[in-house]
Chains A and B, each alone.
Chain A
Amino acid sequence: MSHHTPAKRRGDRKAAVGNVGRPPVGWAVPGILFFAVFAIVPLAIAVYLSFCEWDGLNSPTPTGLDNWTRLFKDSEFGQAAWLSLLLTTISWAFQTPVALLLGVWAAGRQRSRAVLSAIFFIPLLLSTTAIAMLFHALLDPNFGVIKEIGPWIGVDPNVMGSSTGALLMVAFVGGWQFMPFHTLIYQGGARQIPEVLYQAASIDGAGMVRQFFHITLPQLRHTMTTSSVLMIVGSLTYFDTVLIMTKGGPGTDTTILPYLMYRTGFQTYDLGYAAAIATALVVVATGLSLILVRFSGFGSMRSTREGM
């Protein structure tokens, strides 16, 4: 853990003072316990419940591996897992370039950019529920704006009736909501890039495009990891949007894992199987984040400017 290195170095230097004034570790206990009770323990219970049958009323009864064998044979689960990955990939591929461009652009301090940034921020003020409802209304083939604008921009007014269209729209709406957040992250990152790098590059005759690819992009490496982890975990868990905009349809073609879990658990009250789906969701989410962390050195996310 890189966060220990500076502390240790400082610690050695101040050996004369010793450990006077260090807080007792016990201070962290209430916070850790609270988090454990409402996040870690439930995670463990979810794993336990995934080996049980439970209808929500009677006590859970262990059924061994039943849920898991069912899970691996369940074509609906397979479809949901695939759709989740697909939605996550599309969301990432849509949000990252746009947020990167907008963020780097907004890092400039011109007045016009500040004004536009203030407008771009607005979607973040609406709750996910409100946004999903808004687009549900806008995309209604009979009453929505889409019947006017759709033909004009080449989108079928009945876009929500097609499997691909509905999935793309869910990804778009998620992006519409979270773009300002990721733009801000990139904006913050871009403002930390030392000006001197760009000055050196222009003295060397590097043009704007070269500067972007050889300075901005590498310097934003860690910012990109942070933003990507948040995007991936975020879009794996789009639930409100799907529930409100598509109810998993048309058919089951936007039934992503969280929605399948909700339907199984709280509409058909097959909570044991729902717990198995939830466990699978955690495995996928943590797995993807860990891969990303490994792959890009997220552990050192604080030290973007190390070695300069």
Chain B
Amino acid sequence: MSTDTRPAAPQHASPAAPRRPAPARRRRRRGNPLAGLGSLVWLVLVLVPLYTLVSASLMRQDEALNGDPLAFPTDPTLDNYGTVLDSGFLALLGNTAIVAVATVALVLVLSVPVAYVAVRTRSRLSSLAFRTFLLGVAIPAQAVIVPLYLLIGKMGLYDTLYAIILPTAAFSMPVAVLVLSGTMRDVSEEMYEAMSLDGASPFRMLWQLAVPLSKAGISTVAIFSALQAWNGFLFPLILTQSEENRVLTLGLFNFMSQFGVNIPAVLAAIVLSVVPIFAVYLVARRALVNGLMGVGGK
């Protein structure tokens, strides 16, 4: 998901995280034993499953089934990863990448104007639209899957990647509009006035003022919708069928029955599915973290 790395440069901390003088904070937050202990417990709960995931994926099948699952693999092997790669893993990854990039592009192209209009105009229509999106946050995708099955079928899009991209983008839009209008509202009126005195068109104001100043919100939206696409399971499950249009999540699910009790291979598939996004995380951790923090509002 190349889109994730682009938007937020590390130095531009999101408005959610204003720098404050460190010393005062350090004094205030020193030694909170309960939270400190709690975080250690949570650390164990996070690490044990992850450790087992990786270590068992390196085991041979009989060792994983009979041995101590917490022990180190006695004779680490990469065979399981070979099995997964031979089962069409890269094609799954390719499809997911296409879906993620297309979803992000579509969400941004559609949501930026909506948010801009919601912030910059005061008409009844724009406030109605804003409210609709606000309520849209609460519409669960499951609620519309039956009609979408009908609709996508009628549009002739059943079993194509479009069948995944279009609904995924639509269901990312409410959060996108909320986040974007939140950041765009912070662009000061004086700047718009200055630009309008220069005779700038509304489009130029959007493109040269509102968009550049909303980079934090835009990267939040890009990350959020990329993760939606990355994570999506229900739309692919119901709206696609053939192997050529299978995305990663559905592919993983199929590996589960295909590999059966070959648990190390199942685990290797899971590890491989994390590798691309983990790479993004290592490169652009701050952008990813600040981006998601932005979903919670400012």
Contacts and interface: CB of A to CB of B under 8 A. Distances in A.
Most chain-B Cβ atoms within 10 A of its Cβ — which of A25, A40, A179, A290? A25
Residue of B46, B144, B149, B278 with most chain A CB atoms under a 10 A cut-off: B144
Contact of A223 (B36, B138, B253, B297): B297
A188 B16 contact: yes
* Chain A contact residues: helix, strand, loop or mixed: helix
Interface centre among B132, B139, B201, B288, by most chain A C-beta atoms within 10 angstroms, is B139
Contacts of B135: 286
Contact of B126 (A25, A105, A195, A275): A25
Interface string A140-167: 1011110111000000000000000000
A265 B122 contact: no
A186 B35 CA distance: 14
A244 interface: yes
A169 interface: no
Contacts of A142: 65
Contacts of A38: 144, 148, 151, 166-167, 169-171
A134 B289 contact: no
B35 A265 contact: no
24 contacts: A3-B181, A8-B122, A21-B202, A22-B120, A27-B117, A28-B129, A32-B132, A34-B173, A35-B132, A38-B169, A42-B151, A49-B150, A105-B35, A108-B25, A109-B22, A116-B43, A133-B256, A136-B256, A149-B70, A185-B296, A226-B297, A282-B139, A286-B138, A302-B297
Contacts of B278: 122, 125
A301 interface: yes
A3 B120 CA distance: 11
Interface residues of A, number: 121
A281 B139 CA distance: 9
Interface string A37-81: 111111101100100000010000000000000000000000000
Interface of B: 16-18, 20-22, 24-26, 28-29, 32, 34-36, 38-39, 42-43, 45-50, 52-53, 56, 64-65, 68-70, 110-111, 113-114, 116-123, 125-127, 129-133, 135-151, 166-167, 169-171, 173-174, 177, 181-182, 185, 189, 192-193, 195-197, 200-203, 205-206, 227, 230-231, 233-234, 238, 248-250, 252-253, 256, 261, 263, 266-267, 270, 273-274, 277-278, 281, 285, 288-289, 292-298
B36 A144 contact: no
A51 B238 CA distance: 22
A281 B148 CA distance: 16
Given A46-B146, A104-B35, A133-B253, 19 more contacts: A7-B122, A8-B122, A22-B202, A23-B117, A35-B110, A45-B151, A105-B38, A110-B26, A121-B289, A122-B50, A133-B252, A133-B270, A138-B52, A143-B69, A192-B16, A198-B28, A222-B297, A237-B141, A237-B142
A244 B289 contact: no
Contacts of B295: 181, 185
By DSSP majority rule, is chain B's interface helix, strand, loop, or mixed? helix
Nearest to A301: B297
Which among B122, B177, B181 has the highest number of chain A CB atoms within 10 Å?
A: B122
A298 B255 CA distance: 42
B237 to A, nearest CB: 8
Contacts of A27: 113-114, 116-117
Contacts of B131: 1
Nearest to B168: A38
Contact of A31 (B110, B121, B143): B110
A106 B17 CA distance: 12
A24 interface: yes
B39 to A, nearest CB: 6
A86 B64 CA distance: 35
A194 to B, nearest CB: 9
Given A7-B122, A31-B110, A49 B146 contact: yes
Contacts of B140: 233, 236-237, 258, 281-282, 285
B70 A21 contact: no
Given A3-B181, A25-B126, A34 B293 contact: no
Contact of A21 (B52, B195, B227): B195
Given A233-B140, A261-B142, A31 B111 contact: yes
